[in-house]
Amino acid sequence: MITHVGDRPPTYDAEPTALPAAVPQELDGLVPDTVLDGARYGTYTLRAASVRGDSARFRGELRRDALLTARFGTDEHALVLVAVATGARATASAHLAAADACRWIGEAVGRSHARLSEDIRAGRRGELKSGLNRLTDRTYGKLRARAAELGTEPRRYTAGLRCLLLPGDPDCRTRIFFGIGPGGLFRLRDGSWQDLEPEVPAASGTSADNGSGTGSGPSRPGPGSGTGSGSASGWPDGGPGGEGLTADPAVTTSWPSYVEDPPGPPGPPEVPGLPAEPFRFRGSVARPGDTLLLCGPGLAGPLRGEPALARELAARWAPGQAPGLVAFLADTQLRVKGYSDDRTSAGVWEA
């Protein structure tokens, strides 16, 4: 089986070289080179992995990415959360910020999982977007507060955060994506990749491209693929995808029901001069045979920038049956020269 794609082999070795330096009093801050998880609920099979990048493996640096998979509730009321976070580059505490982001959004979703599950099954799209936006804002407020505790700049203790919500009800095929920051959301349907990343307005002085790479890899659905705003009370079925996409930008629904913590003093304000990342949200209805792929920027970049990687993964996953854990790990580690960051991803195979 091939281990890399592209015209030339990658610079670094395929296997880890150096372990990160350890401090006796801070051993709980170490993170393993690789994390692997999986599950099966309802009509889908989940595979998730987070792997230290080639560059970090060679230099003995910690994995900046964090991965959380968690189930809340039971039976048809169960709700599975997958959270992927990437800490800021060139900061010593990047791995801690990523872990905090995953943990705090997990706690928030867990406290509201019953209402979230109900709203997903009922197709309450507007309420979901506003509620999840609020929970995400609270998570970033905690990151700013933690930065203040550590005496560091908020921009140095932060992380991109991307999440999937997957209901356990076999009669509900709605899949919810939300988050902030760069990365990718892709769907493999009928052997072809589609880039489902929600379109967001460009921040002042920045590009609408989220920094996760461009190229001729997986492509966005063309016009008429169901990108209308639709009704806030359900999932529109227009377009060939038969799915609801990003909710209307103006969120008017108040959301007193999704409460992460008891009311308390407000967190630190936004930092002047620090560009605000837009909140991303997308709800879609899966079809049998679909594969949904959520990933951080370390995998989104080569998927968009190296067509050979997109083709190879499509060939491996197009048959529709979920790979085993070890096979999924090998697939997501397919190496591409010029892309050596951590790779964290979650694949959802629909039966």
127-175 pLDDT, tens digit per residue, is: 999 999 999 999 999 999 999 999 999 999 999 999 999 999 999 999 9
Checking if the pLDDT of 262 tops 80, the result is no
| Closest alpha carbon to 14 in 344, 345, 340 | 340
| Structure token digits, residue 82 | 């997958």
HSE-CB for 156 with a 13 A CA cutoff: 11
| Structure token digits, residue 205 | 């002085």
| Cβ within 8 Å of residue 243, ≥6 positions away | 226, 235, 236, 237, 283, 284, 285
Per-residue pLDDT reduced to its tens digit, 171-221? 999 999 999 999 999 999 999 999 999 987 665 443 333 333 333 345 454
The answer to whether residues 316 and 134 touch, using CB atoms and an 8 Å cutoff, is no
The answer to whether residues 56 and 89 touch, using CB atoms and an 8 Å cutoff, is no
Q: How would residue 337 be classed by pLDDT, with cut points 50, 70 and 90?
A: very high
Return the DSSP state at 191: T
| Cβ within 8 Å of residue 10, ≥6 positions away | 4, 54, 335, 336, 337, 338, 340
Which range is least confidently modeled, 79-88, 166-175, 204-213, 288-297?
A: 204-213
Give Cα 193 distance to the centre of its chain. Answer: 17
pTM (predicted TM-score): 0.83
The answer to whether residues 230 and 125 touch, using CB atoms and an 8 Å cutoff, is yes
